[in-house]
Amino acid sequence: MMATTVPKLIGARIRRKEDPRLITGSSTYTDDLKLPGMLSMVLVRSPHAHARITEVDLSEAEGMDGVVAIVTGADLEGTVAGLPVAHNLEDLKEPPHRPRSIDKVRYVGDAVAAVVAVDPSRARDAAERVHVGYESLEAVVDIEAATEDGSPLVHEEEGSNIAFEFPFLAGDVDEALLNADVVLRLRLMNQRQIPVALEPRSVIAQFDRGFGKMTLWSSTQIPHLLRTQLAIGLGFPEHSIRVIAPEVGGGFGSKLNVYAEEFLAAHLARTLGRPVKWTADRSEGFLATTHGRDQLNDVEVGVDGEGRLLGMRVRMLQDLGAYHQLLTPAIPTLTVLMLPGCYRLPNLEVHLSGVFTNKTPTDAYRGAGRPEATFLIERVMDHIAAELDLDPAEVRRRNFIAADDFPATTATELIYDSGDYQTALDRLLEVADYAGLRREQKERRARGEVMGIGLSTYVEICGIGPSAALPAGGWEACTVEVRRTGAVVVKTGISPHGQGQETTFAQIVADRLGVPIEAVEIAHGDTDYVPEGIGTFGSRGMAVGGAALSLALDTIRAKAKKFAAHLLEAHEEDIEYEGDRLGIKGAPDRFVTLEDVIGAAYLATDLPEGVEPGLAATHFFEPPNFTFPFGAHLCVVDIDPETGEPTLRRYVGVDDCGNVINPMIVDGQLHGGIAQGIAQALFEEAVYDRNGQLVTGTLMDYALPKASYLPNYELHRTTTPTPVNPLGAKGIGEAGTVGSSPCVINAIVDALSPYGVRHLEMPARPEKIWRAMGSGASE
Amino acid sequence: MLLAEFDYAAPESLDEALALLGGGGNVRILAGGQSLLPTLKLRLDRPDLVVDLRKISELSYVREENGEIAIGTLTTYAELLASDFIESGVARCLAEAAASVGDLQVRNLGTIGGSLSHADPAADIPAAALALDCTLVARSEEGDRTIGATDFFHGLWTTALLPSEMLREVRFRKANGGGAYEKLRQAASGFALVGAAAVVEMDGDTIAGARVALTGVGSAPLRLHALEERLAGETLGEELLRDVCGDAGEAIESPLSDIHASAEYRAAMAGVTARRAILRAAG
Ligand SMILES: Cc1cc2nc3c(=O)[nH]c(=O)nc-3n(C[C@H](O)[C@H](O)[C@H](O)COP(=O)(O)OP(=O)(O)OC[C@H]3O[C@@H](n4cnc5c(N)ncnc54)[C@H](O)[C@@H]3O)c2cc1C
């Protein structure tokens, strides 16, 4: 048999197929679409964090030029359901989350009315003339104060701001702390962040009266889940709803949701009989799209004299904001699960409380619960090192789960699929020249310079996930159709919005079927075209969606072999499929090509016994477990001793996401992820004032880093495949974010250690660092 | 994103523009639009009429006249940075300030006159204008009126310009000496958390004269007259500068305090940036 005619693409640095259209602006986002007769929706939002609505006066606005309709919360009662929350928690308080408020507003940005007009400017003009009477109430802003007796209540009918308690216990922490040589206590605030996708949210709803069909274009990560929720929420039969996620300009978890505007646009399109569009502007997005993190942890940890973890107790408060969005309460439970990190932690006790406050709801944000866990345990590692005067790398080494312990069961009953943490750390220390850096640090310190080296070793939970662990299914679906001309169409249930699966999936198809990559089309994001799916989040695209693709390709290959065997008059088991040739083992000149097979399959004049015409397959992949990518990061920071300004001089990563389909795309995911983690460590913070006003309401005050603020990344890899899926790939979408925030803070604290500093809260702004060095009056 | 309605005019001559300005009502000039448009989008400003200056090409130039460098109000940051006149000497402080503004897109559109007229308390150009002791030329239908830089900035977004006036030109003397601008960035906006511009003339090791100005620290940019006096005639040295600049913050009447930095930090950084700017301007 001749050598394959197609070079192997899996593992190659293939340029992204999607980039030309994105870079040249020839792509279509939701807001680019203009439908005949389309109306614009603008929302009237509360300027108060907490207030009773005393009246809504529409009279002036209704009379304005171009205004078609205005609806308030009361108008929707009984027609449009509340927004969904998906969870597995016992006794979760689920106060109604109406798409428009009726009685009270509970955060700045909570919507009161929707104005529909012939164009967006007129809708906005009219929205300004909707007069809402408010009786202001005391706002619940501070998360600890929210849990106290006598605190004002976000939802009075619930009797408390605590939406749920989630206690967790493994082993005996009291005993462990009693036996510990050292008990350390630390308090860590994981600040609130605002996900800033380049494309703000946007939605268009169109209702076809003739067919009774609703089409919804939305900038979403989850078109299929949205379809189901629209059916439930608006009482539509699911077969007459089509959800399309056209080009989606990033999400980072903030579009992994079902939003009021989606329900409203659909409802209004149906009642008005004309298409309705809503697009957030940046400031509106800051208020009305979910935020991330906002978790306070009080940690008590016991170690032996050698720095080995004996037990840990964590009191965790998660700020939920004013309502549950789709996964709001689930996010901190992921933190709980991942608290052990890369380490052997025999005893763990956690008490998590989810708390309502008068702020924008929190939900998934790149990493979603895991960055919080990693930040916690990696700060703990450095505290142990400081307390026992050990090198932070050594403390990690002493606590790592060993390579031969995998699959490893954690105190939180997760089963880590595969890993080798020590090798990743060793590799990092070598490529970064850790010993040399420590020598350099000594010399610089002697010269009065302030330099720090930070480490973090992380493991995170990806490939989400087994359906048993999720409230709405964790499988993924894929259809592969080999068309008559040899074109291959893949219909995947994931909904990529920047991740690059149009390229990586095409690489897999090209290799496995022996077709040129140009002949492969990866279709996604349209529920009429792609019948089933879950979506893109939780670093699951390749690990779950790719696995479904792999199963479908297996079936296609098997069927192709049947045709080949028939054409060659050979036994199916004797057929080898390499490149685009299907030949008989050991008989190099007896083969047919895929083209021959396709011809036979579609002409169907001479079918093999019991074989149907066509060459297409659909598969659902149910992952038996999560995947657990891991890695080790190091960064070097220089601090200006006079101003406190930190400069990241180097950032080195050794990451392991199992098998890599496209190293360039993996690097790109890491770049973006690390940038977001650095951003949390140094720059970003959503600040609310005492009255619940979002002070960082625009990009003039919310510090999204610019490219010039970030270092070059030096990326290396180890490869530990996962047994969980047929590709051996683990997922890399969030790893960079998970590993980087603690790495940067550890470097800054290391730099400041000569000043007696043990911790600094994120974001480590220059002034904070300056004060930590003893400048300024103490506060 | 959605602007309120306003009338728009794009006159092709200065006189036409001035007539529109003199016509009363709430009129706004549009230069580079880099501050005006965000304000309009947020509906913080609702003019009746916007007068776009960009068709009046005679307002865009950098040239030497009678020992002075003259900059037309519509000159963009990028055009200014491309000019030979500001490459060295005292004008360095202006070049460094302009180079530190925003990003390339902003520097390609934003104008020197727009920045001065807008008078954002954290803008970079105003500090350089003070350190260069610029003369600002305002123009109305009545003709030109010159205003010294120290008299120009009145407070938050307010200047000596009258509603009927526009800024036409900025001038400064081509003096001996050097200039420098030091800036600590507010991470979100990229504007100055604290910025210091310095112009220094040396006579051997002795400071013959110095002008130093701050931005970002209060409601308006300010000259540090007392500090300048303490430097004049002294021998340049690290210790002198530490001593003199250590008090720089005291000149700020009510230092700004916000989520980005406390008043105390801003005051301390005023000293650090002033010292660094003076040292480089002298060097
Ligand atoms: C992303 C971004 C980043 C930025 N970063 C910085 C920064 O780092 N540092 C900094 O200093 N600035 C920064 N800016 C602001 C920028 O410098 C603006 O260009 C400048 O403030 C205004 O100049 P303009 O020509 O754009 O004026 P416009 O926006 O057109 O006008 C601003 C105001 O000045 C008035 N005006 C304009 N010209 C005249 C005139 N000739 N006479 C009278 N009134 C006039 C206008 O009516 C308006 O009120 C940034 C802006 C953006 C958008």
What is the tens place of the pLDDT at every residue in B186-220? 999 999 999 999 999 999 999 999 999 999 999 99
Chain A residues closer than 8 Å to B41 by CB: 281
Residue B76 Cβ < 6 Å to ligand 1 = no
Residue B111 Cβ < 6 Å to ligand 1 = yes
Of the partner residues A42, A643, A699, the one whose CB lies closest to the CB of residue B272 = A643
**pLDDT for residue A633 is more than 50:** yes
For ligand 1, the distance from its centroid to the CA atom of residue A159, given in whole angstroms, is 51
Bridge partners (DSSP) of residue A57 are A131
Distance of CA A646 to the CA centre of its chain: 28
Task: Provide, rounded to the nearest whole percent, the portion of chain A with pLDDT above 90.
Answer: 95
Mutate to test the interface with B, among A199, A690, A767 (most CBs of B within 10 A): A767
Domain with CATH 3.30.390.50 in chain B: 178-282
Chain A residues closer than 8 Å to B189 by CB: 699-701
> In sequence order, what are the residues at sequence separation of 6 or more whose Cβ sits closer than 8 angstroms to the Cβ of residue B192?
B100, B122, B123, B124, B127, B183, B184, B185, B186, B215, B216
Smallest CA–CA separation between A128 and chain B, in Å? 11
**pLDDT for residue A717 is more than 70:** yes
CB atoms within 10 A of CB B164: 17
Instruction: Please tell me if residue A121 touches chain B, with a CB cutoff of 8 Å.
Output: yes
For ligand 1, the distance from its centroid to the CA atom of residue B111, given in whole angstroms, is 6
Domain with CATH 3.30.43.10 in chain B: 7-52
Instruction: Please tell me if residue B209 touches chain A, with a CB cutoff of 8 Å.
Output: no
Q: What is the enclosing helix (H) or strand (E) of B27?
A: strand B27-30
Task: Provide, rounded to the nearest whole percent, the portion of chain B with pLDDT above 90.
Answer: 94
pLDDT of residue A775: 85
Helix (H, G, I), strand (E, B) or coil at A522: strand
Does the beta-carbon distance from B187 to A765 stay under 8 Å? yes
Helix (H, G, I), strand (E, B) or coil at A125: helix
pLDDT of residue A472: 84
CATH class entry, domain B57-173: alpha beta
Instruction: Find the mean pLDDT for residues A215-234.
Output: 97
Instruction: Find the mean pLDDT for residues A116-137.
Output: 97
Instruction: Please tell me if residue B189 touches chain A, with a CB cutoff of 8 Å.
Output: yes
Instruction: Please tell me if residue B42 touches chain A, with a CB cutoff of 8 Å.
Output: yes
Residue B20 Cβ < 6 Å to ligand 1 = no
pLDDT of residue B128: 98
Alpha carbon distance A702, B257 (integer Å): 16
User: What is the number of H-type helices and E-type strands within chain A?
Assistant: 20, 28
Alpha carbon distance A625, B32 (integer Å): 56
Chain B residues closer than 8 Å to A701 by CB: 188-189, 259-260
The answer to whether the beta carbons of residues B225 and B246 sit under 8 Å apart is: no
Mutate to test the interface with B, among A191, A643, A694 (most CBs of B within 10 A): A643
Residue A37 or residue A2, greater confidence: A37
Q: Can you list the domains of chain A with their CATH numbers?
A: 19-25+475-621 (3.30.365.10), 33-137+198-250+255-288 (3.90.1170.50), 292-465+625-772 (3.30.365.10)
Domain with CATH 3.30.465.10 in chain B: 57-173
**pLDDT for residue A4 is more than 80:** no
Alpha carbon distance A462, A536 (integer Å): 12
Average pLDDT, chain B: 96
The full DSSP string for A565-606 is: HHHHT--GGGEEEETTEEEETTEEEEEEEHHHHHHHHHH-SS
Alpha carbon distance A527, A214 (integer Å): 12
Nearest-5° angle of CA A652, CA A655, CA A661? 125
Tokens of A358: 């008068």
How many inter-chain contacts (A to B, CB under 8 Å) are there? 61
CB atoms within 10 A of CB A552: 26
Alpha carbon distance A413, A391 (integer Å): 30
CA-CA-CA-CA dihedral for A54, A60, A65, A71, to nearest 10: 20
Instruction: Find the mean pLDDT for residues A17-46.
Output: 97
CB atoms within 10 A of CB B78: 17
Residues A574-607 have pLDDT tens digits of 999 999 999 999 998 999 999 999 999 999 999 9
Alpha carbon distance B115, A52 (integer Å): 43
Alpha carbon distance A456, A452 (integer Å): 13
Chain B residues closer than 8 Å to A642 by CB: 272
User: What is the number of H-type helices and E-type strands within chain B?
Assistant: 11, 14
Task: Provide, rounded to the nearest whole percent, the portion of chain A with pLDDT above 70.
Answer: 99
Between the CA of residue A126 and those of A113, A274, A425, B44, what are the distances in Å?
Answer: 11, 19, 59, 17
For ligand 1, the distance from its centroid to the CA atom of residue B151, given in whole angstroms, is 20
Bridge partners (DSSP) of residue A582 are A577, A592
Instruction: Find the mean pLDDT for residues A493-497.
Output: 95
Please name the fold of domain B7-52: 3.30.43
Residue B191 Cβ < 6 Å to ligand 1 = yes
Instruction: Please tell me if residue B104 touches chain A, with a CB cutoff of 8 Å.
Output: no
SS (H, E, C) A261-303: HHHHHHHHHHHHCCCEEEECCHHHHHHHCCEEEEEEEEEEEEE
Instruction: Please tell me if residue A767 touches chain B, with a CB cutoff of 8 Å.
Output: yes
Does the beta-carbon distance from A281 to B5 stay under 8 Å? no
Task: Provide, rounded to the nearest whole percent, the portion of chain B with pLDDT above 70.
Answer: 100
Look up the CATH number of domain B178-282: 3.30.390.50
- Under the banding of pLDDT at 50, 70 and 90, the label for residue A1 is very low
**pLDDT for residue A278 is more than 50:** yes
Chain B residues closer than 8 Å to A281 by CB: 1-2, 41
- Whole-structure pTM value: 0.96
Q: Which ligand 1 atom lies nearest to the CA of residue B120?
A: 21
The answer to whether the beta carbons of residues A592 and A577 sit under 8 Å apart is: no
Helix (H, G, I), strand (E, B) or coil at B127: helix
Distance of CA B216 to the CA centre of its chain: 11
CB atoms within 10 A of CB A121: 17
pLDDT of residue A101: 84
The answer to whether the beta carbons of residues A653 and A631 sit under 8 Å apart is: yes
For ligand 1, the distance from its centroid to the CA atom of residue B92, given in whole angstroms, is 21
Residue B29 Cβ < 6 Å to ligand 1 = yes
pLDDT of residue A100: 86
Instruction: Find the mean pLDDT for residues B64-77.
Output: 97
Alpha carbon distance B214, B158 (integer Å): 17
Does the beta-carbon distance from A696 to B268 stay under 8 Å? no
Mutate to test the interface with A, among B265, B275, B279 (most CBs of A within 10 A): B265
pLDDT of residue A77: 86
For ligand 1, the distance from its centroid to the CA atom of residue B123, given in whole angstroms, is 9
pLDDT of residue B2: 84
Smallest CA–CA separation between A529 and chain B, in Å? 34
- Under the banding of pLDDT at 50, 70 and 90, the label for residue B283 is confident
Does the beta-carbon distance from A703 to B272 stay under 8 Å? no
Residues B152-184 have pLDDT tens digits of 999 999 999 999 999 999 999 999 999 999 999
Instruction: Find the mean pLDDT for residues B78-97.
Output: 95
**pLDDT for residue A442 is more than 50:** yes
Residue B215 Cβ < 6 Å to ligand 1 = no
Residue A769 or residue A776, greater confidence: A769
Bridge partners (DSSP) of residue A29 are A247
Chain A residues closer than 8 Å to B103 by CB: 706
The answer to whether the beta carbons of residues B221 and B215 sit under 8 Å apart is: yes
pLDDT of residue A6: 47
Does the beta-carbon distance from B2 to A696 stay under 8 Å? no
Alpha carbon distance A53, A112 (integer Å): 9
Residues B214-260 have pLDDT tens digits of 999 999 999 999 999 999 999 999 999 999 999 898 889 889 999 99
pLDDT of residue B1: 67
- Under the banding of pLDDT at 50, 70 and 90, the label for residue A470 is confident
Average pLDDT, chain A: 96
Alpha carbon distance B210, B231 (integer Å): 7
Smallest CA–CA separation between A10 and chain B, in Å? 39
Nearest partner of A588 among A576, A603, A599, A598, judged by Cα: A576
Residues A385-434 have pLDDT tens digits of 999 999 999 999 999 999 999 999 999 999 999 999 999 999 999 999 99
- Under the banding of pLDDT at 50, 70 and 90, the label for residue A778 is low
Instruction: Find the mean pLDDT for residues A638-658.
Output: 98
Q: What is the enclosing helix (H) or strand (E) of B193?
A: strand B192-203
**pLDDT for residue A173 is more than 70:** yes
Residues B118-133 have pLDDT tens digits of 999 999 999 999 999 9
Q: Which ligand 1 atom lies nearest to the CA of residue B124?
A: 11
Measured between CA atoms, the residue of chain B closest to residue A126 is: B4
Between the CA of residue B191 and those of A207, B32, B124, B195, B268, what are the distances in Å?
Answer: 47, 17, 7, 9, 18
Nearest partner of A249 among A194, A195, A198, judged by Cα: A198
Residue B130 Cβ < 6 Å to ligand 1 = no
Residues within 8 A of B (CB atoms), A 627-666 only = 642-643, 645
pLDDT of residue A7: 61
Does the beta-carbon distance from B188 to A696 stay under 8 Å? yes
